[in-house]
Each structure stands twice: as structure tokens, then as C-alpha cells.
Amino acid sequence: MAEKTQATAPGAEIDAVEARDLYRRMRLIRTFEDTVQQQFQKGNVHGTTHLYSGQEASGVGVCSMLREGDKVAGTYRGHGHSIALGVDPQKLMDEMLGRVTGACGGRAGSMNVVDVASGLIGCFGIVGGSIGAATGAALAEKLRGTGNVAVAFFGDGTSNQAYFHESLNWAQVEKLPVVFVCENNLYMEFTPIEDVTAGAIGSRPQAMGIDYRQVDGNDVFAVREAAGEAIEHARSGAGPAFLETMTYRFVGHSRSDPGKYRKPGEMDEWKKRDPLILGRRALEERYGIEAERLDEIDAEVAKQLEEIVERGLAAPFPDPGSDGKEFK
Amino acid sequence: MAQANDQGTIEYRVAVREAIGDEMERDPSVVFFGEDVAIAGGVFAVTPGLHERFGERVIDTPISELAMSAGAFGAAVNGLRPIFEIMFADFLLLSMDSLVNQAAKYWYVSNEQGSCPLVVRSAMGAGGNFGAMHSQSPVPWLQGVPGLKVVAPATAGDAYALLRAAIRDDNPVAFLEHKRLYSVKDPVSPVDTLPLGEAAVVREGTDVTLVSISKGVRDCLRAADELAEKGVSAEVVDLRSLRPLDTETVLRSVAKTNRVVMVEEGPLIGGWAANLLGIVAAEGLHDLDDAWLIACPETPIPYSPTLEDAFLPNEGRIVGEVSSRLGLAAEIATGA
């Protein structure tokens, strides 16, 4: 079920098969999120959700440049990070549905998924948690001399958290192999990021002398190239790298968000640059992959999600009688 | 096993240092970091020499308590056994998000995919005129978090064996060292480790049970000496761990003495003592003839020596209250 994207680092060049896999994975995330939304409305997904729709190229581009042994820390908007890294979408959906077959047996839910086998050290429900955790994971990789890197995904709003400033500083002082990926979707929750942020986010890592690059976060190929450079920098022992992926979310911050804060016409403009549209165009132009083939992928993924939901809804809930009894 | 001095005793701070050193020697995945702990050896002189012995495994950090605790979390879930020092326990508040939301929850929320073996050491406690922000004992703040063990040893020997056990534990442990104990000397521990979550009856008695942790245990032991001169036989229970909480040992002692007093260096409301007394009442009311709490006033900890001395529980207050409740008040008043 899990389609682990093969790493090609440090070069970002890939063949048509791999390029198609990138598109499939982005489509998988989009359809997964649409499905979570539907199941939420049906009452099968509980609590709240923060969907990754619109930001797929960022997570998929970065994770496609990682290698076995690298670690990733995601956020409460973490379904995309998880799938991009290769977490089994069946296990992820089962977790959303609160089933015992979920990635964390139904104990975690949408915001806190851990999948050790995939290298996902966690998705963190508190803004900034991913940054601190990945910095610590990188400390372990450095002291163990593994050559692995740790990646922290986080949003633009996180640049105003203590975690951000403290961890960037410490990582640079200790020259830790960590890549900070700021997914800048222009809004911290409901508020335009520039209304609550002094100066440019990128000026902050640069003030600490941290390797910094900004990239079009909706172009998966551009993300791959920039991520490859950032990861290589961190892996070489030169210290942390900071990658700012400029993107946009097509859905509310969370399920309760009416989205009234968006500027008129802004969503329409960004939808023209949907990572899936850009991805299709690039596959057609660069690899000569026909639109019909991409439609087939879309249909295959849609069917995959239908089957996933069917199996998930048939899976048992965890038994409260046995849960937590061995907590130590 | 810790090295004794010529008198067969060891200083509390040295016991802590030796526990760290012995575990780092035994297990190469143990690392230690904190503010001023490596080159300088720590502001309470607990860790000199460790950096010289273990090199890059002992690290000076920036003043970044949150990054430190999250760094320990990330390292702990990725193959290391970090120990980190929060200089004053009051500063633990800055590290709490990672401790509470990451470290304490990881084993459970991940559905037991992995462990989070970290230890946070911190110096707590009043009595040194450090004022309101450098004197607190944040035991209840930590104790209320499932998934986080809390240990507060009263003696140098226990500090050594409990810290080694804490470092070997597969999930997070908060290890609280009372700053008024760093210079005390006690017999060396006869064992390498002691189990976490087990209380100890450190003095046997039949009339009343005194329960405390850390420095409070030593106050209770001195009070028990004085009470013995008045003909009162006090049993003293050292909880040693606040989570897991060994209620069994307390209930057994109460079944014997039928009276219990809990001594807490902290406010009465929301404290560990009130909570434990609630459990004792719920499970052992039939054994109780009398029960009460000795704790601090509901204000921040004052600075001035006269104010701070009056604020803190001490053996005099314990002796006075026990004597009074047991009907020895007249004796005290007349000095008989």
C-alpha cells in the first residue's frame, strides 16, 4: 500500500516513472484530505482536522529527497507530511476514524500521528513542537554519527514562537543536521502573517547565519531542487538549512474556519497555481506524459480511497477495557 | 557504586555527579546538557569533571529551556538517553510544553511504538532567600501529568540510586534535587539502583505517621527525634517518588499508627499532600483517627529571612502540631 518515493539526492533529476509517482502522491494527499472532510461531515472523523489541501508540493517535494534513516517531524496539519513520507494511507485513515487498526491504535487522532517505521517521529499539536523535536533528533544523529538528517515542517505562524528562535539558534551553534521547512501559506490561522510579524521570516534564519532559500512551494520540481540543496547542506555537517516554501491552503485553517479573512480574488489566483495543475503541466511538458494517463492516476487514487474508507469503517474501535492498563 | 569519602559518606551533589558519570560510563547513549553544566560544572557545582571525562556527550546549551526539553525529547525518541539540567526548578515552566505535550505523551499516544528515555534534573526548594522565582518546588505541576515520573530524593544515597534508575527508565523522569540538600553528607548507597515509585519507611513508629519528600523527610526525622523525647513514637515515610505514587506503603503505615500528617513545602491548595491525603481518606478512612496537612501559606515565597523562615514548614512546627493534636499541648506550654 505504501508507495515509498525513492530518493535521488543529491541530484533532483528523475525519470518519467518517478515523476509520475510524485504526481500520484500529491493526488493521494488531495483525495485523502477530501475524503477526511467527507467523513468528518458524516460524523465518522471526530474532533477537528487541519487539511493540507493546496500545500501538497511542499511535503511531497521535500520528502522525495530524503533517504532511509532520515527523520521527519510534522505538524497538526500533518496528513500530508505523513503520506509524503510514506505512511500507509490505510493506517492513517483508520487513525482518523478512531479505529484500533490506526497508525497509533486510535490513541492519536488527526493531530498527533507517530509512525516510527516511516521515520515520522511525530506530528505535533502545539505550534512549534516539530521544530524542537527535529532539532533534538538531529542532535542524536550527529552524536551517533549516522549521516542522517532531521526535517521539521512548520507554518509561517510558527516563526513567532519561542521554539523557532531557541531551536534555530541552538541548531546553528551545534551545527546540527536539521532542515527547517517553513510552509508559508500566508495566514497564521485566520490572520494575515504580515499583520503579526516584524520583518520577513527569511531574515530570521539569515540573521543567525543559517543557510536559507525560498522556493515556489506549489511547484513540486522546484521544491525538490531546493530541498535537495538544503538537505545536502545539512547532511554535509555544515549546519542547519532553512527552506521557505511559498504556498496557499485551499481549505480553512481547521474545520471551524469560515475563511472570511481572505483577500478578494486571492483564492482564485492561487487555484490557477494548484500544485496538481502545475504538476500535470510539468509532466506533460517535461516527460510527455499524456493527460489521459494522469486522469487514470486520479481515478486509481479515487478508487484506492474508496476502498480505504470501506475497510476503515469496517475496522473495530479500540476496547476501553484494555486501553492504558499497562501504562508505565 | 558511588565512591565514599574517608568517613564512608558522600555529599549529595557528588552522589548526583557520580550517578551521571557511572551511567555515562555504562551506556554510551547517555548524554548530558544544560546551561553552564559542561565547562563551568554547573552553578551548584554538581557536574564538574563530566565534560572532561565524556567530551562532546556533555554540552553547554544557550539559555533556551524550551529548546533544551524539546531537544531532549527529539534525541530520546531517536536513540539517545539524554539528561538535561534546568538550573532552577522555577525555570521548568519554560520547558513544560515539550515535557508535557511531547515527552510524557509519546509512549502512550504513539501506541507504544517507541519510548522516550529522558531525565530532567532540576534544583528546587526554598530556604536560601532566593525569592519568589528561584525557590519554588513545582512538584504538583509535574505530578499531574500521566506519563511523566517524578522523583525527589531525600538523601545522597537515594539520589545516587534513584538517578541511575531514572536514567535507565524508558520513559521521562523529572528528578528534583532540593538545593538545601546539595551539601549534606549521607552514607553511600549500598545498591546501584532503587525502583522508581516505591516509598520507604525510614523510621518505624506506632503513634503517628509523618509523610514527606526530599528535604521535608529530614525535617520529619528530626521532628521524630524530638517527639521521641516526649514519648511520641513517630513513623516517617519517605515517598521518594510522586509519580508513580506508592499509596500502599502510606496506607500500611496509617493502618498501624491511625494518625497521619503530611508535610509539604508548597501551598496547601493543589498540593501533592492534599491529593495524597484524599486518596488515604478514600481508601483507608476506617484506619484514621486523625489526619492533617502541614504546608505553606497561599502566597508567593517571600524573600526576607524572617518572612521566609516563618513561611516554610520545619521540625519545630511538626513537633508542635503533633504534640498539640496528640494532647501534649500543656506539656509544651509549660516546657515539661
pLDDT in tens, A12-61: 789 999 999 999 999 999 999 999 999 999 999 999 999 999 999 999 99
> SS3 of B137, please?
coil
Residues in chain A with CB shorter than 8 Å from the CB of B91 are: none
Confidence of residue B137 (pLDDT cuts 50, 70, 90): very high
- The reported pTM is 0.94
pLDDT at residue A153 in the model: 98
β-pair type (B9-11, A211-216):
unpaired
CB B48 within 8 A of CB B42: yes
Residues in chain A with CB shorter than 8 Å from the CB of B109 are: 104, 107-108, 112, 114
pLDDT at residue A7 in the model: 43
Summarize the confidence of residues A122-151 as an average pLDDT.
97
Rounded Cα distance between A324 and A235, Å, is 39
Percentage of residues in chain A with pLDDT exceeding 70? 95
Q: pLDDT by residue (tens digit) across B76-85?
A: 999 999 999 9
Write down the ipTM of this complex: 0.93
Rounded Cα distance between A281 and A289, Å, is 9
B109, A129: Cβ pair inside 8 Å? no
Nearest CA in chain B to A105: B111
Confidence of residue B3 (pLDDT cuts 50, 70, 90): confident
Interchain contact A121–B (C-beta under 8 A): yes
Count of CA atoms in the C-beta half-sphere (13 A) of B26: 13
Distance from CA of A173 to the nearest CA of B (A): 9
Confidence of residue A5 (pLDDT cuts 50, 70, 90): very low
B109, A114: Cβ pair inside 8 Å? yes
- The C-alpha angle with vertex A141 and arms to A135 and A147, in degrees rounded to 5, equals 120
Distance from CA of B255 to the nearest CA of A (A): 28
Q: Where are the domains of chain A?
A: 19-310
A vs B: CB pairs below 8 A: 133
Residues in chain B with CB shorter than 8 Å from the CB of A73 are: 74
Check pLDDT > 90 for residue A150.
yes
Confidence of residue A327 (pLDDT cuts 50, 70, 90): low
B78, A107: Cβ pair inside 8 Å? no
Nearest CA in chain A to B69: A132
Closest partner residue to A170 (CB to CB) among B57, B62, B82 is B62
The average confidence (pLDDT) of chain A is: 93
Rounded Cα distance between A47 and B303, Å, is 47
Task: Give me the residues paired with residue B234 across strands.
Answer: B208
Interchain contact A116–B (C-beta under 8 A): yes
Rounded Cα distance between A220 and A275, Å, is 7
Check pLDDT > 90 for residue B126.
yes
DSSP A318: P
DSSP B103: I
Q: How far is CA B3 from CA B38, B159, B164, B192, in A?
A: 21, 14, 14, 12
B74, A133: Cβ pair inside 8 Å? yes
Task: Give me the residues paired with residue A213 across strands.
Answer: A243
Single-letter amino acid code for the residue at B240: R
Instruction: Please state the CATH superfamily assignment of the domain spanning residues A19-310 in this structure.
Output: Thiamin diphosphate (ThDP)-binding fold, Pyr/PP domains (3.40.50.970)
Check pLDDT > 90 for residue A70.
yes
pLDDT at residue A260 in the model: 85
Single-letter amino acid code for the residue at B207: D
Rounded Cα distance between B129 and B301, Å, is 9
Q: pLDDT by residue (tens digit) across B32-82?
A: 999 999 999 999 999 999 999 999 999 999 999 999 999 999 999 999 999
Burial class of residue B271, CB neighbours in 10 A (0-12, 13-18, 19+): buried
Q: Which strands make up the sheet holding B290-296, listed edge to edge?
A: B200-203, B234-238, B208-212, B259-267, B290-296
Closest partner residue to B101 (CB to CB) among A115, A125, A144 is A125
Distance from CA of B303 to the nearest CA of A (A): 30
Query: What is the set of domains in chain B, with CATH numbers?
Result: 9-187 (3.40.50.970), 200-333 (3.40.50.920)
Residues A199-236, buried b or exposed e (16+ Cβ, 10 A)?
eebbebbeebebbbbbbbbbbbbbbbbbbbbbbbbbbe
Choose among B132, B274, B257: nearest CA to B203: B257
pLDDT at residue A324 in the model: 67
Rounded Cα distance between B97 and A129, Å, is 8
Check pLDDT > 60 for residue A328.
no
The three three-digit cell numbers of residue B126, written as one number? 526554598
DSSP B289: S
Mark which residues 19-48 of A lie under 8 Å from B by CB.
none
Check pLDDT > 60 for residue A4.
no
Interchain contact A325–B (C-beta under 8 A): no
Summarize the confidence of residues A111-119 as an average pLDDT.
96
B109, A134: Cβ pair inside 8 Å? no
Rounded Cα distance between A86 and B317, Å, is 63
Confidence of residue B250 (pLDDT cuts 50, 70, 90): very high
Q: pLDDT by residue (tens digit) across A214-259?
A: 999 999 999 999 999 999 999 999 999 999 999 999 998 887 787 8
Choose among A190, A150, A155, A152: nearest CA to A52: A155
DSSP B101: I
| Residue B219 host element (H or E) | helix B214-229
pLDDT at residue A323 in the model: 76
Check pLDDT > 80 for residue A298.
yes
Residues in chain A with CB shorter than 8 Å from the CB of B101 are: 124-126, 129
Rounded Cα distance between B276 and A5, Å, is 53
Rounded Cα distance between A31 and A25, Å, is 10
The three three-digit cell numbers of residue B160, written as one number? 545516587
Choose among A302, A316, A257: nearest CA to A27: A302
Chain length of chain B: 336
Task: Give me the residues paired with residue A241 across strands.
Answer: A179, A211
Rounded Cα distance between A31 and A23, Å, is 12
The average confidence (pLDDT) of chain B is: 96
* Interface mutation vs chain A, best among B35, B110, B148, B170, most A CBs within 10 Å: B110
Rounded Cα distance between B45 and B48, Å, is 6
Check pLDDT > 80 for residue A3.
no
> SS3 of A20, please?
helix
B127-132 — which CB contacts under 8 Å span 24+ positions? B127/B179, B127/B180, B127/B215, B127/B308, B127/B312, B128/B179, B128/B180, B129/B303, B129/B304, B129/B305, B129/B308, B130/B88, B130/B303, B131/B301, B131/B302, B131/B303, B132/B300, B132/B301, B132/B302, B132/B303
Rounded Cα distance between A207 and A202, Å, is 9
> SS3 of A214, please?
strand
pLDDT at residue B333 in the model: 47
Q: pLDDT by residue (tens digit) across B251-310?
A: 999 999 999 999 999 999 999 999 999 999 999 999 999 999 999 999 999 999 999 999
Residues in chain B with CB shorter than 8 Å from the CB of A141 are: 78
Residues of B recognised as catalytic: 134
pLDDT at residue A258 in the model: 76
A133, B73: Cβ pair inside 8 Å? yes
Summarize the confidence of residues B224-230 as an average pLDDT.
97
Check pLDDT > 90 for residue A67.
yes
A167, B69: Cβ pair inside 8 Å? no
